[in-house]
């Protein structure tokens, strides 16, 4: 149990409260009386902090220290570990545990009560969250942008792949291959993310690949091209001849100076061997002449001339061989993608052979110069330009590579063509994917799908939570009968009933008609009934006896008849028989500790007179007195409150004595006076006009002697709302005049006025 609240700071009117040393500690049952705005609800919020295990949200800087019956101290910083089980009923409980709304489906008021308020709120918030994610006709969902990203990417599979595959088949491969969306996707799967590695950037290579892809296998193999050059050999022979210097011992000048005669004579000499006359002219041939000619043609210069002649013959043969290279008959003998390459090499050959023939012709020219004038002279030959041979050798290698490629393709046509086609397919698909930014969009799509999946997971989690909440709604609704029972007891009416709608909401019916609104009293009754239902649940679990109960003004907005019902219900609910098997008739306390606060004197009187509350002297009575706008005091119940049976007499006692003492501003009763005057006027006007249904200010008008009289008192009759309470200090300035007017009003009814004074022992 709680023994006392040692101190309170920064809690509403309890800005700096300390438990008085003479004030009795809390007991099992504690009744707290005080007028409105004296601090009762603020006190209940300290108990709410114990219940919620966190400081009340309205007082973030609030401080307090509580001592328990085990001498444990609980401060605001210890709330989350405090061991007390606390239940609180106050205005906030009504606000938090009752939510109503106009429901067109039932043509009246539907409402949730208790845990259903929080459950329904969570359900509705969950549904709003799902709507925000999925979207509705009115709002765009959080998934929509991601879904659009996925939908945009899905266009590849829906249309773009099909269109591109058709283009590749028809425009690139001239419909020679089957190629549809499935083939394109297969090619795509073979590509790396580095598309540039599959794109053929070289124009000639791309052309060859296209030609190979479209070629038909109607070609034959081609013989390798042979070209053996003798330029180096002929240059060497020519150099040796030009460098030679034969002996000139046996010469025939006429033959030396005329190469044609030299050749004619050399050819004719063998024809005249053993002949006596010339076969040409018929003249006699002298033996010495033949001997001289034979000697001449067998000397060194003759040998040089023979070498010149033989070398010229070889050069001519080399020149003639250039026209007999075993070239293919046409470039069309090659496969399509090699034809241009072959033609290019063929064009090169003409220039190379021209250069080669020029070298050979130059050798012939040098030999002729040696033969005609310089047979006995040394002639220097220019070094050989080997680039001619190098270029021809390279050309021969290049063209034979083309021949080899051709032959290789012809021999492996299907394999080569398929390889070219695969390269071309990858080239085309890679360009398409690059231009369409496929992998960028795929990354965005994958991210979008992950986001959608997370949202879907969240929706499933929320939906599963909603199923639990819906089950809890049905569980709470199952307490309908018990709730009905308490409401009937509070309102003391058999025609009031709570029913359940198809969506597990409550509706209040008055007779057969659905209520179109809820009065403040009905709201209080429904909320307090639910509070008792929840306590009954604790009782069934055996936990109520370990629970501290704080009930703040359960009779708010209820009339006198209902006040009696609330008292009766509290009396029967918290003090029960048949709880102790050994003594069935014994009344047992069904709580650990009970606190009840009220501003209503009638209700307070009921509690004060309760045998069950007063039993065994385990109760205490307290009075909360407001001393200023920031200060209230918890004190023992004044003797006047103990003695008077009527709130009306008690109020008159306070007002009359304050008036008699001169309405002093230093009087500690000053802060109480506005509330006392208002409440006294309320009771007085109802007593004088019991049939009136008007508010107190309207009743007061009917009782005023003159319409313009008692203006200050009339102003005090409006002091019924919190907004006016905030002007408390302003009203205090007019308090003396208001009470004086009240005494004038009472004096107009001397019989009643004198009776009141006798009731408080004033002559």
DSSP string over 145-196: HHHHHHHHHHHIIIIIHHHHHHHIIIIISTT-S---HHHHHHHHHT--S-GG
Q: Which of 609, 607, 644, 490 is nearest to 559 (CA)?
A: 490
Question: Which sign, positive or negative, has the C-alpha torsion 501, 504, 508, 510?
Answer: positive
pTM above 0.75, yes or no: no
Cβ partners under 8 Å of residue 678, min gap 6: 696, 716, 717, 719, 720
Q: Which of 636, 609, 612 is nearest to 624 (CA)?
A: 636
Phi-psi region of 396 (alpha: psi -120 to 50; beta: other; left: phi over 0): alpha
pLDDT for 480 equals 64
> Taking the mean position of all CA atoms in its chain, how far away is CA 241?
95
Is the Cβ–Cβ distance between 758 and 752 less than 8 Å? no
pLDDT greater than 60 at residue 26: yes
pLDDT for 104 equals 53
pLDDT for 131 equals 92
Q: Per residue in 597-614, pLDDT tens? A: 998 888 888 888 888 888
Is the Cβ–Cβ distance between 201 and 439 less than 8 Å? no
What is the number of residues in the chain?
Answer: 763
Domain layout of the chain by residue ranges: 2-104+516-640, 644-759
pLDDT for 514 equals 76
pLDDT for 493 equals 72
Number of Cβ atoms within 10 Å of the Cβ of 431: 15
Q: Per residue in 360-395, pLDDT tens? A: 999 999 888 887 767 777 888 899 888 999 999 999
Burial of 255 (0-12, 13-18, 19+ CB in 10 A): buried
Is the Cβ–Cβ distance between 27 and 620 less than 8 Å? yes
Q: Which of 649, 620, 650 is nearest to 637 (CA)?
A: 620
* CA atoms within a 13 Å half-sphere pointing along the CA-CB vector of 718: 10
Task: Give the C-alpha separation, 476 to 486, whole Å.
Answer: 15
The CATH number fitting domain 2-104+516-640, selected from 2.40.160, 1.25.40, 3.40.50, 1.10.1060: 3.40.50
Residue with the larger pLDDT of the pair 640 and 18: 18
pLDDT for 435 equals 94
Phi-psi region of 549 (alpha: psi -120 to 50; beta: other; left: phi over 0): beta
Q: Per residue in 130-144, pLDDT tens? A: 999 999 988 999 999
**Mean pLDDT confidence for 752-759:** 89
pLDDT greater than 60 at residue 469: yes
Specify the DSSP element, H or E, that contains 679. helix 673-688
Q: Which of 736, 721, 715, 627 is nearest to 671 (CA)?
A: 627
pLDDT for 505 equals 67
Task: Give the C-alpha separation, 562 to 349, whole Å.
Answer: 124
Q: Per residue in 280-333, pLDDT tens? A: 787 877 766 665 666 555 556 777 888 888 999 999 998 888 888 888 888 888
DSSP string over 368-383: HHHHHT-TTS--PPPP
Least confident range of 163-177, 219-233, 660-674: 660-674
pLDDT band at 477 (very low <50, low <70, confident <90, very high): low
pLDDT band at 726 (very low <50, low <70, confident <90, very high): very low
Average pLDDT score, the chain: 83
Q: Per residue in 29-52, pLDDT tens? A: 999 998 888 899 999 999 999 999
Cβ partners under 8 Å of residue 543, min gap 6: 85
> Taking the mean position of all CA atoms in its chain, how far away is CA 165?
36
CA distances from 200 to 197, 210, 345, 432, 527 (A): 8, 11, 23, 13, 81
pLDDT band at 472 (very low <50, low <70, confident <90, very high): low
pLDDT greater than 80 at residue 695: no
Task: Give the C-alpha separation, 684 to 696, whole Å.
Answer: 9
pLDDT greater than 50 at residue 227: yes
Q: 689-721 burial, b for 16+ CB within 10 Å, e for fewer? A: eeeeeeebbebbeeebeeeeebebbbbbbebbe
Task: Give the C-alpha separation, 194 to 492, whole Å.
Answer: 84
**Mean pLDDT confidence for 476-485:** 65
> Bridge-partner residues for 550, per DSSP?
88, 595
Torsion of CA 6, 11, 16, 18, to 10 degrees: -20
Task: Give the C-alpha separation, 496 to 560, whole Å.
Answer: 18
Is the Cβ–Cβ distance between 83 and 546 less than 8 Å? no
pLDDT greater than 80 at residue 260: no
CA distances from 98 to 460, 518, 536, 563 (A): 29, 11, 18, 20
pLDDT band at 438 (very low <50, low <70, confident <90, very high): very high
């Amino acid at each position: 149990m709680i023994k006392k609240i040692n101190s309170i700071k920064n809690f509403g009117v309890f800005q700096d409260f300390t438990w008085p040393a003479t004030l009795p500690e809390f007991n099992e049952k504690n009744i707290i009386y005080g007028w409105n705005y004296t601090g009762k609800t603020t006190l209940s919020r300290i108990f709410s902090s114990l219940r919620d295990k966190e400081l009340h949200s309205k007082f973030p800087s609030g401080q307090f220290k509580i001592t328990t019956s085990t001498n444990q101290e609980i401060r605001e910083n210890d709330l989350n570990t405090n061991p007390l089980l606390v239940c609180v009923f106050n205005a906030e409980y009504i606000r938090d545990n009752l939510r109503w709304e106009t429901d067109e489906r039932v043509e009246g008021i539907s409402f949730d009560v208790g845990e259903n308020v929080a459950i329904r709120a969570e359900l509705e918030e969950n549904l709003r969250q799902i709507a925000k994610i999925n979207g509705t006709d009115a709002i765009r969902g959080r998934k929509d942008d991601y879904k659009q990203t996925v939908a945009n990417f899905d266009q590849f599979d829906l249309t773009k792949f099909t269109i591109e595959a058709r283009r590749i088949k028809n425009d690139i491969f001239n419909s020679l291959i089957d190629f549809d969306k499935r083939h394109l996707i297969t090619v795509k799967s073979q590509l790396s993310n580095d598309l540039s590695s599959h794109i053929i950037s070289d124009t000639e290579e791309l052309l060859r690949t296209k030609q190979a892809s479209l070629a038909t296998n109607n070609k034959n193999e081609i013989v390798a091209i042979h070209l053996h050059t003798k330029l180096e050999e002929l240059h060497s022979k020519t150099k040796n001849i030009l460098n030679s210097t034969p002996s000139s011992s046996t010469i025939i000048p006429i033959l030396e100076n005329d190469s044609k005669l030299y050749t004619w004579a050399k050819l004719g000499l063998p024809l005249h061997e053993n002949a006596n006359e010339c076969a040409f002219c018929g003249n006699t041939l002298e033996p010495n002449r033949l001997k001289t000619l034979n000697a001449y043609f067998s000397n060194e210069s003759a040998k040089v001339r023979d070498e010149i002649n033989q070398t010229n013959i070889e050069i001519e043969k080399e020149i003639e061989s250039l026209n007999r290279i075993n070239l293919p008959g046409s470039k069309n003998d090659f496969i399509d993608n090699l034809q241009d390459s072959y033609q290019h090499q063929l064009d090169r050959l003409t220039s190379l052979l021209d250069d080669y023939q020029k070298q050979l012709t130059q050798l012939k020219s040098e030999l002729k110069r040696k033969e005609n004038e310089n047979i006995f002279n040394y002639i220097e030959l220019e070094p050989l330009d080997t680039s001619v041979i190098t270029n021809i050798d390279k050309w021969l290698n290049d063209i034979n590579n083309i021949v080899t490629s051709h032959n290789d393709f012809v021999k492996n046509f299907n394999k080569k063509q398929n390889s070219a086609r695969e390269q071309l397919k990858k080239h085309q698909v890679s360009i398409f994917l690059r231009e369409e930014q496929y992998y960028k969009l795929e990354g965005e799509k994958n991210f979008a799908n992950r986001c959608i999946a997370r949202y879907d997971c969240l929706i499933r989690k929320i939906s599963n939570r909603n199923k639990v909440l819906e089950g809890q709604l049905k569980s709470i609704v199952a307490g309908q009968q018990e709730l009905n029972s308490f409401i009937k007891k509070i309102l003391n009416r058999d025609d009031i009933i709570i029913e359940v709608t198809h969506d597990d909401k409550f509706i209040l019916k008055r007779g057969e008609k659905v209520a179109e609104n809820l009065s403040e009293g009905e709201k209080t009754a429904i909320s307090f009934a639910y509070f008792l239902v929840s306590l009954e649940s604790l009782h069934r679990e055996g936990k109520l006896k370990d629970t501290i109960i704080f009930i703040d003004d359960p009779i708010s907005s209820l009339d006198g008849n209902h006040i009696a019902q609330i008292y009766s219900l509290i009396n029967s609910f918290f003090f029960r028989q048949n709880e102790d098997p050994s003594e069935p008739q014994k009344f047992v306390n069904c709580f650990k500790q009970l606190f009840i606060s009220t501003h209503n004197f009638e209700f307070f009187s009921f509690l004060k007179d309760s045998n069950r509350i007063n039993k065994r002297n385990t109760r205490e009575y307290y009075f909360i007195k407001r001393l200023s706008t920031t200060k209230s005091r918890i004190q023992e119940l004044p003797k006047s409150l103990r003695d008077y049976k009527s709130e009306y007499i008690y109020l008159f006692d306070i007002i009359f004595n304050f008036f008699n003492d001169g309405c002093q501003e230093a009087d500690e009763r000053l802060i109480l006076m506005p509330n006392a005057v208002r409440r006294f006027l309320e009771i007085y006007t109802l007593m004088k006009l019991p049939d009136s249904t008007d508010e107190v200010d309207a009743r007061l008008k009917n009782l005023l002697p003159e319409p313009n009289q008692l203006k200050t008192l009339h102003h005090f009759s409006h002091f019924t709302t919190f907004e006016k309470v905030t002007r408390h200090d302003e009203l205090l300035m007019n308090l003396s005049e208001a009470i004086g007017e009240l005494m004038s009003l009472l004096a107009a009814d001397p019989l009643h006025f004198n009776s009141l004074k006798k009731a408080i022992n004033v002559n």
